[in-house]
Structure 1
Amino acid sequence: MTMTAETTSSERSTAVAVRLEGVAKTFGDTGRNTGTVVALDRLDLTVAPGEFVCVLGASGCGKSTLLNIVAGLDEPTTGTVTRDTARPAMMFQDSALMPWLSAVRNVELPLRLNGFGRSARRATALELLDLVRLSDAAGKRPHELSGGMRQRVALARALAATHQREGERGRALLLMDEPFAALDAITRDVLQAELQRIHRRTGTAVLFVTHDVREAVRLGERIVLLSSRPGRVVAEWRNDGHGEDFRHALTEEINARLREAISTHGTP
């Protein structure tokens, strides 16, 4: 398994991991138009191969709905979704590990479901646990691990889900729904740094949902702000990371736009 993937700027400009065009999602009885909730409306978003995109927005703005649509777990009411990925993988706040399986067998699970042989999936799982710095915990079950360690195993498992068999086509895409929100501040800081390292190492495209502006500025190469419900893209920033002063100014600017988006909740 090759863990290093480089994506050139020309590839990013012409190819996509996923593209959403005019996507809307309405829940409820659209025929009667009663009790309906418009979660997303006229949403356009593209994630390039290897790009790390953070999606910000207030609670209820449709961030999780967006991830479900990108993952193929739900379909848009209108609009189109174009994916160049065999299997988008998702990671949540809860690690959702199988409690009766060891760490290595949890990581093996998506590989097993995708048809990998025993020796190949064990080798890949061990390599991924080494990538998240949990080689020594391969044989431990989830109850023997800290919260941060469980999330590392969940990250390794998500990366395993993007792994392709020989001859398969498609780009790796990792979908993350506030994966560090339930962790304490110190553990969250450590895992953010680890995620940055792993992203640089693997070249996996990441669509990362958060409500934490500082987290988005630390992690995202591009930051996308959704309006309050219905969710639409109302602003984007390219995060070139030019020092602490740049990041501080960017954080303040995004906070101001987020407050503005929240204040216009429900405005068509």
Structure 2
Amino acid sequence: MTATLENTPAVSDVDAAVTLSGVRKAFGHGASTVVALDGVDLRVAPGEFVCLLGASGCGKSTLLNLVAGLDAPTSGSIELTTSRPAVMFQEAALMPWLTATRNVELPLRLAGVKRGPRREKADELLSLVRLDGAGHKRPHELSGGMRQRVALARALASTLGSAGDDRGGLLLMDEPFAALDAITRDVLQAELVRVWRETGTAIVFVTHDVREAVRLGQRVVLLSSRPGRVVREWDTTGDDEAELIGDVTSRLREVISGHAAA
């Protein structure tokens, strides 16, 4: 089964959800220093869906961690105009002792949202990801795809301020569908696009899958092999999908081959 996804522009001209300027990240000191990212410049507009593509070890996950505030760049700057970016990983990482509803409520609770409104919002978000009636179930009672839906609902809840704004925000996704079977992955890709359109959330989606990047993103950004730098970008709107996949794949192979020969 292949999900047919359309890319509809949802980009605002007002500011940027996040701007990276000359971002460099190095780990270690002296001779053992490893430079993961070097001079990354990237701007993501409010409501934009950007897919970050690159070979394994090119710094994609490191970049997400920096934007999320889980680590700090060695140099350069990261500016956010939206608060509380949320992160979604390969593993759903749900609290096993909490129900689906309580898992989604958790970031709202930490943000100080009162019990009634946060339960209402959790139910609304579970409905958004098509899990009506599953809120009472715990993670072990859900399939892998359903757990990822709960994780998506929780991530969306994390982007909401205490005022409960329903639009905007920034969602960082680190290969969230990589561990799923092909059919479930296709379904969730389509669901993600639907949720993105309905919420107006800016998304930075990390993947090593060219087809996934082209089908999901309005823009595909290719990082070089380590140290990661932005080497190419593609606007996916209006282009022939098969031709674009071929072009991106060819450029990715060049990047990988160039690194192997170095």
Category of TM-score, reference length = shorter chain:
over 0.9
CA distance in 2 between partners of 1:82 and 1:40 (Å)? 17
Structure-1 residue corresponding to 2:27: 27
* CA spacing shift, 1:89–1:144, aligned 2, 3 Å: same
* Aligned mate of 2:171, from 170, 174, 195: 174
Structure-2 residue corresponding to 1:56: 53
Report the residue type matching 1:173 in the other structure: L
* Aligned mate of 1:110, from 71, 89, 107: 107
* CA spacing shift, 1:133–1:8, aligned 2, 3 Å: closer
Matched, 1:86 2:83: yes
Matched, 1:15 2:15: yes
Matched, 1:142 2:139: yes
Matched, 1:199 2:196: yes
Does the 8 A contact of 2:168 with 2:200 survive in 1? no
Alignment of 1:1-268 (within 5 A): 12-29=12-29, 33-166=30-163, 171-242=168-239, 246-265=240-259
CA distance in 2 between partners of 1:207 and 1:223 (Å)? 10
Deviation at 1:135, TM superposition (A): 1.2
CA distance in 1 between partners of 2:241 and 2:57 (Å)? 26
Report the residue type matching 1:131 in the other structure: L
Unaligned 5+ residue runs, structure 1? Answer: 1-6
Report the residue type matching 2:257 in the other structure: S
Structure-1 residue corresponding to 2:5: none
CA distance in 2 between partners of 1:266 and 1:110 (Å)? 43
When normalised by structure 2's length, the TM-score is 0.93
CA distance in 1 between partners of 2:153 and 2:168 (Å)? 17
Deviation at 1:234, TM superposition (A): 0.2
Provide the secondary structure at the position in 1 that maps to 2:152. helix
Does the 8 A contact of 2:10 with 2:48 survive in 1? no
Report the residue type matching 2:149 in the other structure: R
Report the residue type matching 2:41 in the other structure: D
* CA spacing shift, 1:23–1:188, aligned 2, 3 Å: same
* CA spacing shift, 1:172–1:159, aligned 2, 3 Å: same
Provide the secondary structure at the position in 2 that maps to 1:53. strand
Report the residue type matching 1:202 in the other structure: T
Q: Which runs of 4+ in 1 moved over 4 A?
A: none
Alpha-carbon displacement from aligned partner over 1:10-37 (angstroms, at most 9, x marks no partner)? xx334100000000000001xxx21111
Report the residue type matching 1:142 in the other structure: P
Does the 8 A contact of 1:86 with 1:162 survive in 2? yes
Does the 8 A contact of 1:229 with 1:266 survive in 2? no
Deviation at 1:42, TM superposition (A): 0.5
Provide the secondary structure at the position in 2 that maps to 1:136. coil
CA distance in 2 between partners of 1:259 and 1:95 (Å)? 31
Deviation at 1:165, TM superposition (A): 2.0
Alpha-carbon displacement from aligned partner over 1:173-201 (angstroms, at most 9, x marks no partner)? 00000000000000000000000000010
